[in-house]
């Protein structure tokens, strides 16, 4: 499917992309942006705008509505194109793999290359999983733009993941290096390796890396929230991936999530005869920082449009 997005993106002209961006701005006021208005806003002749809209529709980047007026709405793939275009323009990415390297419930992940030849993973968020979607600053934004609730949720998920990756990476945990974030997409370094459940590496060594990352994250106030052998990639080290659902240690249900993470991971390593210091990690919560508050103020700053 994203194959079509990459292919389609390659065929779009500058004008098509501008028209798509205009419709995105139009979504501030309309669920279906009136075609008349798009024509008014664009600095092109009417026929040119209509032709661009047709092409965008043909590639599956727009959905049409005919009554009570002719209007257009951007599809998930349309947003993919806008995010991809922004990252290409900012020279964060040069090309993408034709097929995904990972398809999950909440995302699609592609491998790619930056202009300097660095291998990256590009994660397109498909669902809203952040605990911050129940927070007031976020709910206030959504209440103003109800028709964009889903779009906002995927954007919040991507922002939440980018925030956690940045903080944990800076603090020295074993996570992919975050490179950029735009709309509902996160760009990070590509981890060469296999998921832990398929790995045959020295389990003691991997467990040490995972415990190091969990305790580093806890120290700055972050609990992963979906830790499992599927979300650990074993390459030169054991890397913890997939952070959009992270939970702040000051969250009322923090201990529940941390216990669940630790139970899953210690059950896995136990099968290999490796123990995880569960009690010690649980104690760390009391002494942790508060990334939750900081993240909320980041949400305040984002306009999500």
- Chain residues binding ligand ATP by CB under 6 A are 101-102, 104-107, 109, 121, 123, 176, 188, 190-191, 195, 226, 230-231, 233, 241-242
**Cβ closer to ligand ATP: 16 or 80?**
80
Residue number with the smallest Cβ distance to ligand ATP: 104
Is residue 172 packed enough to be buried (19+ CB in 10 Å), middle (13-18) or exposed (0-12)? exposed
Q: Single out the catalytic residue among 209, 226, 242, 261.
A: 226
Residues whose CB is less than 8 angstroms from the CB of residue 141 and which lie 6 or more positions away in sequence, other chains included? 152, 303, 304
Query: Of residues 179, 242, 281, 295, which one binds Mg ion by CB under 5 A?
Result: 242
Q: Give the distance, in angstroms, between the CA of residue 44 and the centroid of all CA atoms in the same chain.
A: 34
Angle at which helices 76-89 and 2-11 pack, to 10 degrees? 60
Decide which of Mg ion, ligand ATP, none touches 24; Cβ closer than 5 to 8 Å per partner kind. Answer: none
Supply the minimum distance, in Å, between the C-beta of residue 130 and ligand ATP. 11
Q: Which stretch binds Mg ion (CB under 5 A): 22-30, 181-189, 238-246, 280-288?
A: 238-246
Can residue 231 be called a binding residue for Mg ion (CB under 5 A)? yes
Q: Is residue 161 involved in binding Mg ion (CB under 5 A)?
A: no
Cis link prior to 68 (omega < 30° from 0)? yes
Q: Which stretch binds Mg ion (CB under 5 A): 33-41, 160-168, 185-193, 224-232?
A: 224-232
221: left (phi over 0), alpha (psi -120 to 50) or beta: left
Alpha carbon distance 217, 167 (integer Å): 8
Q: Report the interface residues with Mg ion, using CB under 5 A.
A: 104, 231, 242
């Amino acid at each position: 499917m994203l194959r079509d997005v990459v292919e389609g993106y390659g065929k779009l002209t500058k004008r098509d992309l501008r028209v798509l961006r205009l419709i995105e701005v139009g979504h501030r006021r309309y669920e279906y942006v009136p075609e008349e208005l798009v024509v008014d806003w664009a600095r092109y002749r009417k026929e040119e705008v209509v032709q661009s809209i047709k092409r965008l529709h043909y590639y599956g980047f727009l959905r049409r509505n005919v009554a009570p007026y002719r209007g257009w709405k951007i599809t998930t793939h349309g947003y993919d194109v806008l995010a991809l275009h922004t990252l290409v323009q900012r020279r964060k990415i040069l090309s993408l793999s034709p097929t995904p390297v990972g398809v999950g419930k909440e995302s699609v992940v592609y491998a790619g290359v930056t202009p300097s030849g660095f291998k990256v993973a590009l994660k397109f968020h498909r669902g809203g999983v952040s605990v911050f979607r129940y927070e007031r600053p976020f709910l206030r934004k959504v209440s103003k733009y109800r028709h964009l609730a889903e779009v906002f949720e995927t954007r919040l998920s991507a922002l939440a993941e980018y925030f956690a990756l940045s903080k944990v990476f800076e603090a020295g945990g074993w996570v992919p290096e975050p490179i950029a974030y735009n709309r509902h997409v996160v760009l990070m370094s590509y981890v060469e390796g296999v998921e832990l459940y398929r790995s045959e590496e020295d389990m003691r060594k991997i467990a040490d890396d995972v415990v190091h990352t969990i305790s580093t994250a806890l120290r700055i106030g972050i609990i992963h929230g979906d830790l499992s052998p599927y979300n650990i990639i074993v390459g030169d080290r054991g890397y913890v991936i997939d952070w959009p659902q992270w939970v702040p240690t000051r969250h009322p249900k923090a201990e529940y999530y941390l216990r669940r993470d630790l139970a899953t991971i210690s059950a896995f390593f136990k099968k290999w005869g490796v123990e995880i210091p569960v009690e010690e990690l649980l104690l760390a919560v009391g002494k942790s920082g508060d990334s939750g508050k900081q993240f909320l103020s980041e949400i305040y700053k984002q306009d999500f449009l």
